[in-house]
Amino acid sequence: MTSRRAAYLGSAALAAAGMAFAAPAKAEVSFEGETIEWIIPFGTGGGSDTWARFNAPFMSEHLPGNPDVVVVNESGGGSTRGTNLFTQRAQPDGLTILGTSGSTQFPYLLNDPRVQYEYQDWEVVMVAPTGGVVYTTPDTGVESVEDIEALQEIQLTYASQGATSLDLVPMLGFDLLGLDVNYVFGFSGRGDGRVAFERGETNIDYQTSSAYLANVEPMVEAGEAVPLFTWGVLDEDGEMQRDPTFPDLPTLEEVYEMMHGEPPEGDAYDAYRAFNIAGFAAQKMVFLPEGTDEEIVEAYRQAFRDIFEDPDYQDSVEDVLGAYEQVTDDAAMALFDAGTTISDDVRERVVRMLEDDYDVDLGE
């Protein structure tokens, strides 16, 4: 494991991961001859799709019986459509799993009326922290993050999945930095947002690390995109640090201090930080539906333990997904708790902001 792989899992998760975990004996479960559908409630080409398609072959190899694992994209409603379908249709037989992202968690955290799912009903079997990179177009005149103050004088346009999706993090972050951004809502995933950027329809965007590595770094190398900053990662003391996947890029906190001469603080920063942690420390999760037998749950957890020890996985995961440790067992539960919990004060502040600034009504 290279040094870059030593990314933060969340302070609670680190403590949990440090505990001795006594793995149960392998369950007598076999999926031989079966096809497992992995529901991804986003379109193709984004970070969640990239993450799932990378992991699917390893799951096929390590689940008992070596089933086919097929990624099924069910986009719409800022990821609520596919997630609602999973809740309504998935049987507790291990043949349908769900991959969520922060864009699925945020509507749940904000009591979005479109949400017909309850995270606490499901069995989490894997959690993947990740990061993200904000970038702009050279047409803005910005050549590097050192020029970012120039963006305060420009009308920026951003392609968003929706105000309660994971795009809430850039909304809160851009507002904190004093950027004037027009949000075009209704895109089915971050992949579609990137395509809008490529077509020149938008001039600021962000992608989670896996999608950035695969799709945006080539644009940067071709001079078609300018990276600005990352969302950072937390260290074990809860302090924001540079993302180990992109150590040369500053965090939003560093950029704020560069622009304003002091570190960010106050209610606006507290809201940004809370949703950053909820959306990225536990950014992507794999679930089995309510009522799944413990033997099947354990078969999935054992498969992920084996995947994480697979030399082929270890050799390739960082290049595809970045320097973040995917986890199961106690560490996954700790991150699950972090990703599905915010304070009432933060929730109320963000709901008011969405109503006042973006005419987003989350009333029942």
Asked whether residue 351 is domain-assigned, the answer is no
pLDDT, tens digit (0-9, with 9 covering 90-100), for 248-293: 999 999 999 999 999 999 999 999 999 998 888 888 999 999 999 9
User: If you average pLDDT over residues 195-205, what whole number do you get?
Assistant: 97
255 belongs to a structural domain: yes
Whether residue 362 lies inside any domain: the answer is: no
Is 247 inside any structural domain? yes
Residue-wise pLDDT tens digits, 26-59 = 448 999 999 999 999 998 988 899 999 999 999 9
Interatomic CA distance for residues 181 and 204, integer angstroms: 9
Final residue before a domain boundary, out of 231, 247, 278: 278
In a domain, 83, yes or no: yes
Over the range 228-238, which residues count as b (16 or more CB within 10 Å of their CB) and which as e?
Answer: bbbbbbbeeee
Alpha-carbon distance 93 to 297, whole Å? 10
**Residue 354 located in a structural domain:** no
* CB-based contact 120:147 (threshold 8 Å): no
Q: Quick: pLDDT tens for 113-169.
A: 999 999 999 999 999 989 999 999 999 999 999 999 999 999 999 999 888 888 999
Q: Which residue intervals of 145-277 are DSSP H helices?
A: 168-177, 190-198, 209-211, 217-221, 252-260, 267-276
Are 274 and 312 in a shared domain?
no
User: Is 352 contained in some domain?
Assistant: no
Residue 96 has pLDDT above 90, yes or no: yes
Token pair of 155 as six digits: 């009308």
Q: Confidence band (pLDDT; 50, 70, 90) for 226?
A: very high
- Identify the pLDDT of residue 180: 95
> 360 or 272: which carries more pLDDT confidence?
272
- pLDDT for res 285: 96
Looking at the fold, whether 274 and 285 belong to one and the same domain comes out as: no
Q: Looking at the structure, tell me whether residues 136 and 258 fall in a common domain.
A: yes
Domain with 182 in it: what CATH number?
Answer: 3.40.190.10
Q: Where are the alpha helices (DSSP H) in 45-183?
A: 47-62, 80-89, 102-109, 168-177
Domain carrying residue 157: 132-278
The CATH number of residue 290's host domain is 3.40.190.150
Please provide the average confidence, as pLDDT, over all residues in the chain. Answer: 90
What is the number of domains present in the chain?
Answer: 2
- If asked whether residues 329 and 242 sit together in one domain, one would say no
In this predicted structure, the answer to whether residue 16 has a pLDDT above a threshold of 60 is no
Determine the residue type at 313.
Answer: Y
Same domain, 113 and 197: no
